[in-house]
Structure 1
Amino acid sequence: MSGFLFVVPPLVGHINPAVGVAARLTADGHRVAWACADPALVRRLAGADAHVYACAGPVPGAEGAVRPPDLRGAEALRFLWEWYLLPLADAMAPGVGAAVTEFRPDVVVADQQAFAGALVAERLSVPWATSATTSAEFTGAYDGLPKVAAWLRSQLAALRTRIGTAAGTADPRYSPHLLLVFSTPELIGPQAPLGERIHYVGPSLADRPAGPGFPWEWLDPGRAKVLVTLGTANADAGGRFLAECRTALRERADRVQTVLVDPTAPPSADGTDKDVLTLPSVPQLPLLERMDAVVCHAGHNTVCEALWHGVPLVVAPIRDDQPVVAGQVVDAGAGLRVRFGRVTAPRLGATLDTVLHDPAHRAAAARIRAAFRAAGGARAAANHLARLAAATHG
């Protein structure tokens, strides 16, 4: 059996897809360990018995790692790299190196934003695979921004001189051995690149730790049901948008019931509000089985989880890869887009009405659902990793 070291940033959306893959590898008898700047988060998501090597590094929400909520576009991207991704790589590198030396993996599975995993593996001559938890990097997102693309390349080249090897040539975002993309061309579109090392495995969904109980009896079978969520990293920017959502959805309370995720608001889980249930967190995967539409920020995980269940979307991207993912949803016909910073309740309501009642959006979501489920998910990803490990011994 082989050993696999998962190197992940301390971000829920990047760890969750790897959890299912790691569980499959473990079930097949392989050795699995993790390297992360937040071991407690990995154990919360992957299980208390997860073997985690602690690394230094900034954790979102800590001093210096808080991004101003009004940053958008290129400014937000530059902040993400300069104040988070690059410092994270520098800080994680010693811990990743120690983990590789002690655990002796056959393959390092490096998240696409955990650059230390790829560069340290390359320096130590260990084969590595990319865990691409968003497909934005594969869609030519920087084709119209040559200066941005050049700046990113220069930053990665400088990072290699600090923590990698001067003899290395691979971009740490794209393994030359194996790229696991947790999506499919049916969502990404015709620009999805092809190659022997690129494998589109669809979403990797695994059982999640049980959170606070959800009042399932609150759901009204006589009304359409909508989930509104901005994910785990956007509470700082969502106040105005969520307020517009509440207004729009209350105006439709005779035919629509809403579950709204707002980490900053007091919960309304006592059931006295029969129209809009506000909670700081929800059991998203089982809840999606009951939903008719999702309003979200176009985060890759939320989008893919909704489409895994065949649920169409209204997407309101905020920053980072979200505009690219939102474009994929719209181009695939599986939803509509609104402007996060400027949408009004009337506009949002009208858009939601279209998504709920136009059968074309649900048909497109069903088409992507079929493609996702045929792609193999965590099982397919684990098989590709096992073959890469076997090839290293051949």
Structure 2
Amino acid sequence: MSRFLFVVPPLVGHINPAVGTAAVLAARGHDIAWAGPADLVHRLAGPDARVFPCVLPDPALENAGELASRSADLKGPAAFQFLWERFLIPLADHMAPRIRTAVEEFGPDVVIADQQTVAGGLVAESLGLTWVTSATTSAELVDPLAGMPKVAAWLDGLIEALRGRVAGGRGTADPRMSPHGILAYTTSALLGPAPLPEHVWLVGPSVTDRPASADFPWEWLEGAGRTVLVSLGTANADASGPFLNAAVQALSGLPGIRAVVADPAGTVTEAGENILLRPHVPQLPLLARVDAVVCHAGHNTVCEALWHGVPLVVAPIRDDQPIVASQVTAAGAGVRLRFGRADARRIADAVGTVLDEAAGYRDAAHSIGLSFRAAGGSAAAADRLEGLLPHPQPPVGGHTRGRKQERTGIR
């Protein structure tokens, strides 16, 4: 069979969708390897995953948690500039030689590079490989810099300088948008009517079982009227304190409501009996049992909630989250709050709104969830990747040629 190399950053939300796609390919008999953070990939993809460590301790490279903490107060272009200058570009410089080593040792037929590991696309293109972008958020698909030409030009300059350093200047493609294909883990039901090139494949979320703690007290949910999950993701712990405390205050006062609150940094100071505080939660199985989600509009959390037909209260913090939040509200599947101004009253009102059956939020969430399931998810993504593989020539004169066709790129 064939070999697929997944290049991923040290970000849980960017690895999880790839895990589902990789699992389907492995079940079909293909060889899978990873280039990225070994400990994180092993935790999410399993201890037997073959990993070429490409994210190692480096004093010049800030980790994702530090990035989130230091950029919490930045907005707009300033936040975007911080993300690229202080995290994504240093990450690419750090990973590039290790990605090249992984390619040389593993010999992949196709490289799948996360949109935020731009070194993956640059290295793959410079070596003449077939490579695909894994777009774990839809923000880049709608060109977030369309109204900021100076910022776009600045970013182009950063990427070209990076191409010179890590790829010897070879190649011309945008490493965030492969010309061979882009796996977009969403559908038009959430993305909206944005015009997209044919090589952008809307495969829907890649939702698959993943390792989860066995000590979650599921019995606590028994007999609950309605349940709300509050989670601000894995990279926002240091910025989450005021919001989580306001959410707990809001939900403690709502009759007939129980809430599970993910509080990894232990920032919540006081909670009522109807609040379950946990440092981490088994999000996927929990989503099947909740009635609403309060979150930061992270693409994975949003898509996993909508997969289960659960409406949302979204309070975006940074990066792509405002774009995803706008998609949720435009689709009628949730209510948006301003993260910095979300007090207990506003959060309580928003939760009450999305739980109101007559308001239609649950119906909209259910409709988007149906579109996700129809798109195919992990299986559809695997189909697209297999479509890039070289195939034997058809028989000529009663004989099959002994060579393979050249890769054709887009299926």
User: Which runs of 5 or more residues in structure 1 are unaligned?
Assistant: none
1:151 pairs with 2:154: yes
CA distance in 1, matches of 2:360, 2:241: 31
1:100 pairs with 2:99: no
Per-residue Cα deviation, 1:42-91 (whole angstroms, up to 9, x for no partner): 01110101100012453625878863432232222111111110011011
1:123 pairs with 2:122: no
CA distance in 2, matches of 1:109, 1:65: 25
- Find the counterpart in structure 1 of residue 72 from structure 2: 69
**Letter paired with 2:298:** G
- Find the counterpart in structure 1 of residue 397 from structure 2: none
Pairing 1:134-149 to 2, within 5 Å after superposition: 134-149=137-152
Q: CA deviation at 1:213?
A: 1.3
User: Which runs of 5 or more residues in structure 2 are unaligned?
Assistant: 393-403, 406-411
- Name the SS of the counterpart of 2:340 in structure 1: coil
- Find the counterpart in structure 2 of residue 172 from structure 1: 175
Per-residue Cα deviation, 1:92-141 (whole angstroms, up to 9, x for no partner): 01100011111100011000010111000011111100000000001131
- Name the SS of the counterpart of 1:341 in structure 2: helix
- Find the counterpart in structure 1 of residue 264 from structure 2: 263
**Letter paired with 1:126:** L
**Letter paired with 1:164:** A
CA distance in 1, matches of 2:369, 2:184: 16
Per-residue Cα deviation, 1:185-208 (whole angstroms, up to 9, x for no partner): 11000115141x211111101211
- Find the counterpart in structure 1 of residue 19 from structure 2: 19
Pairing 1:195-274 to 2, within 5 Å after superposition: 195=198, 197-252=199-254, 254-265=255-266, 274=273
CA distance in 2, matches of 1:387, 1:229: 37
Measured on the aligned residues, the alpha-carbon RMSD in Å equals 1.9
Counterpart contact for 2:123–2:167, Cα < 8 Å: yes
- Name the SS of the counterpart of 1:363 in structure 2: helix
Counterpart contact for 2:10–2:64, Cα < 8 Å: no
Pairing 1:300-379 to 2, within 5 Å after superposition: 300-357=299-356, 358-379=358-379
The 1:103/1:152 distance shift into structure 2, 3 A limit, reads same
CA distance in 2, matches of 1:347, 1:77: 28
CA distance in 1, matches of 2:213, 2:4: 29
Counterpart contact for 2:68–2:239, Cα < 8 Å: no
- Find the counterpart in structure 1 of residue 408 from structure 2: none
Q: CA deviation at 1:224?
A: 1.0
The 1:107/1:73 distance shift into structure 2, 3 A limit, reads same
Per-residue Cα deviation, 1:2-47 (whole angstroms, up to 9, x for no partner): 11110000110000000011111111111110001x2111011101
Q: CA deviation at 1:336?
A: 0.7
Tell me which moved more, 134-143 or 318-327. Answer: 134-143
- Name the SS of the counterpart of 1:388 in structure 2: coil
- Name the SS of the counterpart of 2:360 in structure 1: helix
Counterpart contact for 2:137–2:299, Cα < 8 Å: yes
Counterpart contact for 1:119–1:164, Cα < 8 Å: yes
**Letter paired with 1:91:** H
- Find the counterpart in structure 1 of residue 380 from structure 2: 380
The 1:64/1:353 distance shift into structure 2, 3 A limit, reads closer
Per-residue Cα deviation, 1:341-382 (whole angstroms, up to 9, x for no partner): 012211111111111004411111011000000010111101
Q: CA deviation at 1:265?
A: 1.5
The 1:66/1:315 distance shift into structure 2, 3 A limit, reads closer
**Letter paired with 2:230:** V
Q: CA deviation at 1:386?
A: 0.9
Aligned residues: 388
- Name the SS of the counterpart of 2:388 in structure 1: helix
**Letter paired with 1:298:** A
CA distance in 2, matches of 1:61, 1:286: 26
- Name the SS of the counterpart of 1:303 in structure 2: helix
TM-score scaled by length of structure 2: 0.91
Counterpart contact for 1:96–1:120, Cα < 8 Å: yes
Structure 1 stretches of 4+ with a deviation exceeding 6 A read 62-65
CA distance in 1, matches of 2:183, 2:43: 24
Q: CA deviation at 1:179?
A: 0.6
- Find the counterpart in structure 2 of residue 112 from structure 1: 115
Q: CA deviation at 1:171?
A: 0.2
Counterpart contact for 2:111–2:131, Cα < 8 Å: yes
- Find the counterpart in structure 2 of residue 32 from structure 1: 32
Larger of the two Rg values belongs to structure: 2
- Name the SS of the counterpart of 1:372 in structure 2: helix
CA distance in 2, matches of 1:174, 1:194: 11
Q: CA deviation at 1:170?
A: 0.4
Per-residue Cα deviation, 1:181-233 (whole angstroms, up to 9, x for no partner): 000111000115141x2111111012111225111111143411100000000
The 1:325/1:266 distance shift into structure 2, 3 A limit, reads closer
